[in-house]
């Protein structure tokens, strides 16, 4: 069973529909007991991010809102050490803000510490764009350019280079070339997908990326 926190905002319908399409049992809930990681009794505070926990240990960490606020609320649950420990054993996929939380720090309205699971930092997209006509936030479809040599990563088992994915973001990960799996062009290469060991992240939303996103989620679920 995969439990999804209903925190009153976000893309619960599209996320739960995507997970169900993989054949998984899904529960949308506000009940903390539904979200306990195996052998853990931590109580879950209501979050502005969603933590999905599969009973096989595969996890999804989407998120909405500001980095500092989300990180503070995640820390308040007591789950940060659990996530760090469990990612040594089972895969974790961070989505959008959830991906950003995986990095060492963010420069969103000051400097804030992240989970530190992937080397790198999260910075304002507007500061680095080379085309002043482009808007921030970056919203819409963009081609996913798989980094040469990373085409055989298991995350891309059912997708190919150049397929389109859907973004909604104002900040992006940088100084993370060693872990970058794919980018998308937005006058600069925007980090689209990353991996460090069993820790994966996508800046784009697989659950909003049509059939391409479903195939990517299917590949992750099979890890």
Q: Which residues are catalytic?
A: 96, 205, 207
Q: In whole angstroms, what is the distance from residue 14 CA to residue 62 CA?
A: 12
Judge residue 118's burial from the number of C-beta atoms within 10 Å of its C-beta, 0-12 exposed, 13-18 middle, 19 or more buried.
buried
Instruction: Name residue 173's beta-bridge partners.
Output: 122
Q: In whole angstroms, what is the distance from residue 44 CA to residue 35 CA?
A: 7
Q: How far is CA 3 from the centre of its chain?
A: 16
The structure tokens listed for 82 are 């659990």
Q: In whole angstroms, what is the distance from residue 177 CA to residue 191 CA?
A: 9
Give yes or no for a contact between 84 and 61, defined as CB atoms under 8 angstroms apart.
no
Which is nearest to 86 in space by CA: 198, 200, 217?
198
């Amino acid at each position: 069973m995969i439990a999804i926190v209903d925190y009153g905002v976000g893309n619960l319908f599209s996320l739960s529909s995507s997970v169900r399409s993989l054949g998984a049992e899904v529960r949308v809930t506000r009940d903390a007991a539904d979200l306990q990681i195996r052998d853990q009794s931590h109580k879950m505070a209501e979050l502005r991010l969603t933590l999905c926990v599969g009973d096989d240990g595969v996890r999804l960490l989407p998120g909405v809102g500001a980095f500092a606020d989300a990180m503070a609320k995640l820390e308040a649950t007591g789950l940060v050490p659990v996530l760090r420990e469990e990612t040594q054993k089972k895969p974790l996929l961070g989505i959008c803000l959830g991906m950003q939380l995986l990095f060492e720090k963010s420069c969103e309205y000051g400097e804030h510490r992240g989970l530190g699971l992937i080397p790198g930092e999260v910075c304002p997209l507007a500061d680095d764009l080379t085309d002043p006509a482009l808007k921030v936030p970056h919203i819409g479809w963009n081609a996913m350019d798989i980094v040469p040599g990373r085409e055989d990563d298991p995350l891309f088992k059912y997708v190919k280079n150049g397929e389109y994915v859907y973004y909604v973001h104002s900040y992006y990960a940088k100084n993370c070339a060693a872990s970058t799996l794919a980018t998308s062009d937005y006058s600069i290469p925007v980090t689209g997908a990353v991996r460090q060991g069993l820790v994966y992240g996508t800046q784009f939303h697989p659950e909003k990326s049509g059939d391409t996103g479903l195939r990517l989620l299917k590949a992750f679920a099979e890890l």
